[in-house]
Each structure stands twice: as structure tokens, then as C-alpha cells.
Structure 1
């Protein structure tokens, strides 16, 4: 299916970066008759994707980022991971060239079928829950964005009756012009990605873009327990649907000690929910709100919550070895995510942490280490974490070359009943291509121990 972009007034587009999203964007633009130039620093000229795009009519320049790639360009579709302070990006901004990410193209194709979900933590869980609740309610849905398929590919194949539930990063949301989800979900905002955004305020403003183009017929689901988000939501023109774990909300989703409610309607008894942790209750409330607004039934919601035990690499139970329980939380790429993981256990924990050094301090973790009997550290931040752990009074601190070795060392210093938790508090890119690869290595190590 090749849908036509609506009100797309650009004639010569530079697609910058040939990862999955760049390739999908280039193909979509070419299918819409747009003149396309592609530029990627790390792809070889004989790469199959390069050959394919050239055959489709694209001009492809690889190996470097010369300023000439900007000549005669009126729009850049940028890989979300490329910062705005690179020389090429600064030159593009000096020339006044518009810069978007492919999520803008996806929004153009999907129209008012988009359920967009963002936040510092919980995006994947909430996106997965929302989609499954709709599926169990016999509402046709496709998942896109940071999990699953590239959003513009999904949007291009979206049937009129289908919803697109999309997980959105701050990097994607920074590059929008008119992107407008019918239902926007704003889970939380904590300090993250400051190496990219430079300041916390810049990061917040990128996240707030999720509702900035919404109108009075759209919905904004937000965390009413967060004063910052409650204040920010005031500027939204959409219908506000707050969620809370601590207060009754007649116009939102909330929980008391026994039930989850949508407005004043009982949806499910808390004891019937499989997924553990207060942070996951917040994710569940947000998903209930988004799913109900998108047409899910209480029966469909209940069916999901009675069986859903979590997503891969997010507090994923891996198994038991001689009474030690192993959990894979590789998706915890910042300190807040690790804090939430640690708060889920009362047993003694051996924490495996470390990874890419993005300049973050780990001071936020200090109050969460009461049950941590040992830390096994790896990656660029190992020495920084070692210093932090010593100051925090952790009794046993060990360094490892990688996650596989860390799992072995953790097992060696553990006792019966201990939790061995991979929750790195750092991104993975110093040693691994992705947090998934890092988590998979941990899982392999546990199976080897078995």
C-alpha cells in the first residue's frame, strides 16, 4: 500500500542517516514522487540498501557529511539519534532548512489514528499494554516507533479502521511540525538524555511537543501525581484525562486500595493484576485511559491485566539457579529506572550496573540501596559507579569485563534467596549495539549457569 502524503509542500528532501527509519522515510518519499538525496557517514557505497535506493531514483552520498548535501534542499528528515549541534546540522539551521524526524511523515499518513506514548520511563510497557488491550477488545491496532516497526512504514500500511499505537522518544518529538496524535500519553519526565538535549528544560520541552499540535477533539492522558506535568498540561488545547495512584479523579483514571477506576466506573480489582510495582501501576492506569479512549472494553482490559507479566528486558524474570532469582532489566538506561527496579524487591539484591558514560551522577540511587548487598560493575561507568558505591556503603563491589562475566561473578558471591538483578542505570552503546543485545547476553549467561 502506498498512501499519499497530504499537504506536503517540499520538493527536494535530504534523508540524513540510513538506519531503519531513514531507509523507510526515503522509500516513502520516493514513492510519493519527491526528489530524495540520502546521506550516511557509516554505510558503504556497495551496501544493498544503497543500491536499492539508487535504483528507486535517490541520490546517495555515503562516507562523510559534506556541506554540499544541503545544496538545493528544502527539508531534512533526520535520524533521531543525530544531535542538532553537529557541524552539518548547524549549517542546515543557518541556511534555514526545516528539520524533521520520520515520525512527522508517519503522522501525515496516519491522520487521526495515532495513539502516541512518551515519558522517561514506562513507554514500552504502556505501549504494549495499550495495544494488547485494544486487540483483546477486537479493536484493530498496529504497534510502531521505538518498539516494533518504523512508524512511517506502519502508517503507510494502516487500514482506515486501524489504530497506530506508537512509542515516542524525545529525539523523535523534537523533530515535528504538525504531528498530532489523537490520543497523547505523557507518563513522566525525569533527568535523561542530557548529553543530547543539554538541559533538563530542553528535554522537557521536546516531550511536551506530543500535545502541542492537539486540538479540542483530541485527548491528553497525563500523570496527575506529577506537579510538573499537571502544570504543563494546562497549556494543552486537548481534552485532559489525568491518571493517579493517590487521588480520586472523576474525569480520569485512578486507583484506590482495591480497584482501578475509569472516571467512576470500576474496571478491575487490583489483586487480579499480575504486573508488580508502583511504577507499573502508573503505566497500567495510563494504558487503561488510552485504551478506553480508543475503544477498548473493560473485558478486554481485564483479560490483558490478568495475564501480562511484563515486556522483555524490563524487570523480566529469567529464572532460578540454586534458589537465586535472576531478573533482566537491561532497558533501565537511567538511574530512575534502576531505582524503580530496586523498589520492586524486599529480598537481598546483587545489582549489575554500568554502561555508557553520559555524564550522569548516580547520587539518585543512594536511597534505593538498602537491600543491595553487592554491586557488580561493567562498562565505561564502572569506576564512577565503584566510587559511588563505596561512598554509599555497599559492602561488596566487583568489576567485570562485560555482562556475561558480571552474571557469573554475581552468582559466585550470592547466597540462597538473593535477587541477581541486571538494571544498568546506563545506556548500552559503549559495549553493545542495543539494550536488547545486552539483556540477551545476560539471559545466555543465566542459562549457562543453569
Structure 2
């Protein structure tokens, strides 16, 4: 996916959205959006670099914002079947996520870990093990450090260890770990995925691009 020269809508002003906006602001035209119309834009700006060039948008997406968006980078907390995302998709925007974006700008090897329980502990331990064999290790993802925070610091010898949730896998397309692990799958997040079958499908998709 090519971001250069594109109009990118980043949805969500939490850690993932802020991190993605900071990364992409250097490469394309960015609008950072949050559906909370009561959100103070000055508070959002305070989380961004002083030289941030993009726009900040709150409340309902306008028709122009939908029509002008080439790529929408959605935060994990944003359902892929919500009205805004459906409208963007129907208008021709490419829908992706922060994890996918970070992956596309990273180098080196990737270990990705998912599962209903134990992800954070396992990711932390694997990260510590990797630090014994590499001087360039990054632990990212659902563990609380956005992938887009560190992706441009990676090199061909880097090892990234990523904790990946089912929400993050919904927007993973080219995401291609060298090693992946599904620790376990028990009923969870069915209000988001609707059925156990769909939840399992999301978890299994962590390895869909591995050969």
C-alpha cells in the first residue's frame, strides 16, 4: 500500500491513532478524527508534535471528509462494520489499521502473538529472550506500545515482537510474521465478532500470509 501523496483519515485519538497520525503526517495529508464531538481539539494537539501539519476533526464525519479520503487507518477500538467505516468503504477508501501501517513501514523479522489469554505475559517474555540474541528488539502492539511508534527505528537485523488482538487482526492484510503463535482461544469479544466462528477466524488469520 502506498501512502505518499494520499489523503489519509486516522480514526481514533487514543495511543494508536496519535502514533499513526505522527508517523503519516510526515508522508501524506492527514486528518485525525474522533467521533466524540465534545473532545477538546487543544487536548488532542497537545499529544502531537509542535510541527504537526494535519487537521483534527471531531463529531460526525462530513460528506467531504468521506469523499476525499483515500485511506482510512482505524484504531482497534473502532468496529470495522460501524457506520463511518462502512460509509468510507462504500466511497472507495481503503480500510486499514495501525498494526498493518506499522508493519508496512518496518524492517527485520517479526514474531506475532495472539490468544484470548496470556498474550501480554508471553509477548514480554519472548521480547526478553530476543534481547539476548539481538541488540535491536522492539516489543509492540496490544501490550501498550503502538507498532507505529517504533517501526521506522527498525533495520534489517531488528526483531519486533508484537502482541496482536483479534480487533487488530480485522484490518491486517499484508501483515506477515516470520513466526506466529496462537496461545489459546476461548469465548470472548463476541459483542464485536458476533459469533465464535468469526472470532476463531480472526485469531487464525494471524498466520494467513505465512508460508
| TM, length-normalised to structure 2 | 0.88
Aligned residue pairs, count: 209
SS at 2:121 equivalent: helix
- For the residue of structure 2 that corresponds to 1:120, the secondary structure is coil
Partner secondary structure for residue 143 of structure 1: strand
Q: Which residue of 2 aligns with 1:75?
A: 71
Which has the higher Rg, Structure 1 or Structure 2?
A: 1
Instruction: Report if aligned partners of 2:108, 2:154 keep a CA contact under 8 Å in 1.
Output: no
Between the aligned partners of 2:47 and 2:135, the Cα distance in structure 1 is: 39
Give the aligned partner of residue 203 of structure 2: 207
Displacement after TM superposition at 1:41 (Å): 2.5
User: Residue 10 of structure 2 corresponds to which residue in structure 1?
Assistant: 15
Q: Aligned pair 1:29/2:24, yes or no?
A: yes
CA distance 1:138–1:104, shift in 2 (3 Å): closer
Q: Alignment partner of 1:165: what SS?
A: strand
CA RMSD of aligned residues (A): 2.2
Structure 1: distance between partners of 2:92 and 2:50: 27
Alignment check: 8 A CA contact 1:37 1:60 kept: yes
* Residue 39 (structure 1) aligned with residue 55 (structure 2): no
1:131–1:14 CA distance, 2 compared to 1 (3 A): same
Q: 1:189 to 1:55 in 2, by over 3 A?
A: same
Give the whole-Å Cα distance in 2 for the aligned partners of 1:172 and 1:98. 16
Separation of aligned partners in 2, 1:137 and 1:79: 32
Q: Could you list the runs of 5+ residues in structure 2 that have no partner in the other structure?
A: none
2:125 is the alignment partner of 1:132: no
Question: Alpha-carbon deviation of 1:10?
Answer: 6.7
Identify if the C-alpha distance between structure 1 residues 208 and 47 changes in structure 2 by more than 3 Å, giving closer, same or farther: same
Q: Is the CA contact 2:107–2:156 (under 8 Å) kept in the aligned structure 1?
A: no
Equivalent residue number for residue 169 of structure 2: 173
Shift of 1:209: 2.0
Do the aligned partners of residues 7 and 111 (structure 1) sit closer, same or farther apart at CA in structure 2, a change above 3 Å counting? farther
Is the contact made by 2:9 and 2:31 (CA closer than 8 Å) also made in structure 1? yes
Which whole-Å CA distance do the structure 1 matches of 2:174 and 2:134 have between them?
A: 30
